[in-house]
Amino acid sequence: MTAFAFRKSSHSNPFDECVEVATNLPGAVAIRDSKRPDGPILRFTPAAWADFRGALVGEPA
């Protein structure tokens, strides 16, 4: 199985905590807490992730 390739936003301060996202595997989007890379990983379908992101910025799904 291929591992998730997590990345931080380019808008993140390298010293602050943030969420890291992995979109390198088909059919899955994974997120984790940058300060706990060995901690839990939440997995979403790409459609669910798009809906969540749209809700954060107020865009319709």
Identify residue 24 by its one-letter amino acid code. Answer: N
Checking if the pLDDT of 1 tops 60, the result is: no
pLDDT at 53: 87
Tell me what the mean pLDDT of segment 5-11 comes to.
84
Residue 46 tokens read as 């790409």
Domain ranges of the chain: 7-56
pTM of the model: 0.77
The dihedrals phi and psi of 50, each to the nearest 5 degrees, come to: -60, -40
Write out pLDDT tens, residues 11-61. 777 677 788 999 999 999 999 998 888 999 999 999 999 998 899 887 665
pLDDT at 59: 66
